[in-house]
């Protein structure tokens, strides 16, 4: 069981969020098109290669994790394995306590959101400050991130300016982003210098050399990993890749899929702690977290472990664009969140509702740089959900429907009922327009349609009957 807070999926449109996301999505999609065109890269081939690399890693996960542990240990890192979120948090807390540390800086990590690390640290009296700008804002507001990469995408510049005003007592112009960033930088600089422990996530870990790859655009990860005396890297076991060939390709794929940029702004490669005389942390701890991942291997959802957390499916998803990341109630939002969360938690904490945050339009699978069939997995998870949390009336309805519609006679009977009985009733109620009957208001459960839309009445004579009459 994970210690995180889970909210019921809140499936209401959020217009300001939609507007922000629309701008970001269009900007980044255009960037990717520009880059792939300018560099003559074949996006399809890049995706296929990405899929192969990730598939290889997950197929051979136990061996690669062993190899990673061996190589990282040889390089001087201390490797900890945590089966559950609770274990992982306890491990990190223990590392801090053993060193008497009470001040930590953190770089953005979805895994630490998933396992609820910040709460665990706070309970242990360890102050952990988020140093990614968006994450810092979200943390200071007591809010939660709403996007894998852009945690504060749901907030406006005005909300940020107001926050900074409260923090500093100075007035900020929301349009003056330089001033906003300068404030955050000044505050964070102090924190970096004071921190005894730096906690980061990991984008990829290369098994063959035991190297951790940290990709970023702000420079805060480099400081979190490099300034404090102790660096704790927390990583989901699925982030491992076999070798540098694979890692190199993924490092190209990730920024293209994420931001439409040809290369990450900054990459840190961490192989062990600082050597004698070098600057850098004296200790490197690598916490490998399973938390349900191993159990997904060999299931329908194995390929969800291929995810490289680029956020492409979020921008592609028309439902995410409407409701924003908080609707998913968990660390992972968008289509990948609607798959990963119920798959990892086996439908607990209301997560079986998440696969319904999709119209199954397939845009997510099309956008995914490692070709995860997210739409198929969403359908499969709906079936898992129907088994785990039965909705009796709905199940009875579909069973009756299947009995009738698996026989031509049963189908014709329902069609006739719809045509002969429903249609005239419908027409009586309906406002007739252009010779067709449309209904404006209908009782529950039809009101779920007619609250926002007029409904088309069944045709008085269906196609089957017309064909029989004319050609039968």
Partner 1 sequence: MRVQLFVTCLVDLLQPDVGERTVALLERLGCEVGFPAGQTCCGQPAHNSGYPDDARRVAERFLEAFASTQGPIVAPFGSCVHMVRHAYPRLFADDPELAARAAAVGERTVDLPAFVVRELGRHTVGGRYPGEGETPVAYHHECHMLRGLGSSEPPLSLLRGVEGCRLVETERSDLCCGFGGSFALKLPAVSVAMADEKLDRARAAGARAIVSTDVGCLMHLEGRARRRGLDLRVHHLVDLLEPDGRL
Q: Which residues contact partner 1 by CB under 8 A?
A: 11-13, 18, 318-319, 322-323, 356-363, 365-366, 376, 379, 382-386, 394-395, 398-399, 401-403, 405-408, 411, 415, 418-419, 433, 438, 440, 445, 448-449, 451-456, 458-459, 461-464, 466-468, 471-472
Residue 453 Cβ, how far from partner 1 at the closest point, in Å? 3
Which of 258, 242, 281 has its CA nearest to residue 99? 281
Residue 413 Cβ, how far from partner 1 at the closest point, in Å? 11
Strand 197-200, strand 103-106: pairing: parallel
Strand 197-200, strand 455-456: pairing: unpaired
Give the chain's length.
472
Q: Would you say 16 or 125 has its CB closer to partner 1?
A: 16
Residue 333 Cβ, how far from partner 1 at the closest point, in Å? 14
Q: Would you say 177 or 346 has its CB closer to partner 1?
A: 346
Residue 204 Cβ, how far from partner 1 at the closest point, in Å? 29
Q: Would you say 119 or 376 has its CB closer to partner 1?
A: 376
Question: End-to-end CA distance of the chain, in Å?
Answer: 62
Residue 26 Cβ, how far from partner 1 at the closest point, in Å? 8
Q: Would you say 169 or 408 has its CB closer to partner 1?
A: 408
Residue 440 Cβ, how far from partner 1 at the closest point, in Å? 7
Residue 66 Cβ, how far from partner 1 at the closest point, in Å? 33
Q: Would you say 136 or 315 has its CB closer to partner 1?
A: 315
Q: Would you say 329 or 419 has its CB closer to partner 1?
A: 419
User: How far apart, in Å, are the Cα atoms of 326 and each of 224, 338, 442?
Assistant: 27, 12, 32
Strand 283-289, strand 431-433: pairing: unpaired
Q: Would you say 156 or 322 has its CB closer to partner 1?
A: 322
Residue 251 Cβ, how far from partner 1 at the closest point, in Å? 28
Residue 385 Cβ, how far from partner 1 at the closest point, in Å? 6
Residue 206 has phi, psi (to 5 degrees) of -95, 115
Residue 323 Cβ, how far from partner 1 at the closest point, in Å? 6
In sign, the C-alpha dihedral spanning 199, 205, 209, 211 is negative
C-alpha–C-alpha distance, residues 151 and 130, integer Å:
11
Q: Would you say 233 or 323 has its CB closer to partner 1?
A: 323
Residues 6+ apart with CB under 8 A from 415: 462, 464, 465
Residue 295 Cβ, how far from partner 1 at the closest point, in Å? 21
Q: Would you say 29 or 86 has its CB closer to partner 1?
A: 29
Task: Answer whether 438's CB lies under 8 Å from 420's CB.
Answer: no
Residues 6+ apart with CB under 8 A from 228: 104, 105, 192, 195, 196, 197, 198, 281
Q: Would you say 178 or 434 has its CB closer to partner 1?
A: 434
Q: Would you say 169 or 472 has its CB closer to partner 1?
A: 472
Task: Tell me how crowded residue 325 is: count the other CB atoms within 10 A of its CB.
Answer: 27
């Amino acid at each position: 069981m994970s210690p995180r807070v889970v909210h019921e999926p809140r499936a209401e449109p959020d217009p300001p969020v939609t507007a922000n996301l629309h701008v970001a999505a269009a900007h980044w999609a255009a960037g990717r098109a520009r880059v792939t065109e300018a560099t003559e890269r074949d996006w399809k081939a890049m995706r296929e290669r990405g899929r192969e690399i990730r598939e290889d890693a997950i197929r051979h996960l136990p061996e690669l994790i062993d190899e990673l542990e061996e190589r990282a240990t040889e390089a001087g890192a201390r490797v900890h394995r945590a089966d559950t979120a609770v274990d992982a948090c306890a491990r990190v807390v223990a590392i801090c306590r053993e060193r008497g540390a009470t001040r930590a800086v953190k770089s953005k990590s979805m895994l630490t959101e998933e396992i609820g690390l910040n709460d665990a640290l706070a309970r242990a009296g360890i102050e952990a400050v988020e140093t990614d700008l968006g994450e810092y804002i979200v943390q200071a507001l007591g809010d939660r991130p709403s996007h894998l990469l852009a945690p504060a995408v749901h907030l406006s510049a005005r909300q940020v300016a107001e926050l900074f005003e409260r923090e500093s007592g100075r007035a900020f112009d929301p349009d003056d982003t330089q001033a906003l960033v300068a404030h955050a930088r000044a505050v964070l600089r102090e924190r970096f210098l004071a921190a005894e422990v730096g906690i980061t996530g990991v984008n990829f870990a290369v098994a063959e050399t035991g190297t951790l790859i940290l990709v970023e655009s702000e420079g805060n990860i480099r400081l979190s990993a490099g300034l404090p005396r102790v660096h704790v890297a927390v990583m989901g076991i699925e982030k491992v890749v076999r070798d540098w060939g694979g890692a190199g390709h993924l490092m190209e794929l990730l920024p293209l899929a994420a931001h439409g940029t040809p290369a990450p702004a900054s990459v840190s490669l961490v192989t062990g702690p600082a050597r004698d005389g070098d600057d850098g942390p004296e200790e490197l701890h690598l916490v490998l977290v399973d938390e349900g991942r191993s159990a997904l291997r060999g299931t329908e959802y194995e390929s969800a472990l291929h995810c490289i957390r680029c956020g492409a499916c979020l921008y592609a998803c028309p439902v995410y664009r409407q409701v924003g990341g908080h609707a998913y109630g968990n660390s992972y939002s968008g289509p990948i969140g609607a798959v990963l969360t119920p798959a990892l938690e086996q439908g607990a904490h209301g997560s079986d509702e998440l696969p319904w945050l999709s119209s199954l339009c397939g845009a997510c699978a099309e956008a995914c740089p490692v070709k995860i069939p997210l739409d198929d997995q969403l359908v499969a998870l709906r079936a898992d959900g129907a088994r785990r949390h039965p909705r009796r009336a709905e199940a009875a309805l579909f069973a009756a429907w299947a009995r009738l519609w698996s026989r031509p006679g049963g189908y014709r009977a329902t069609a006739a009922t719809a045509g002969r009985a429903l249609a005239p009733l419908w027409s009586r109620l309906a406002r007739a327009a252009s010779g067709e009957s449309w209904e404006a208001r209908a009782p529950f459960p039809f009101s779920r349609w007619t609250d926002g839309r007029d409904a088309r009445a069944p045709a008085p004579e269906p196609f089957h009957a017309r064909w029989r009459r004319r050609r039968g």
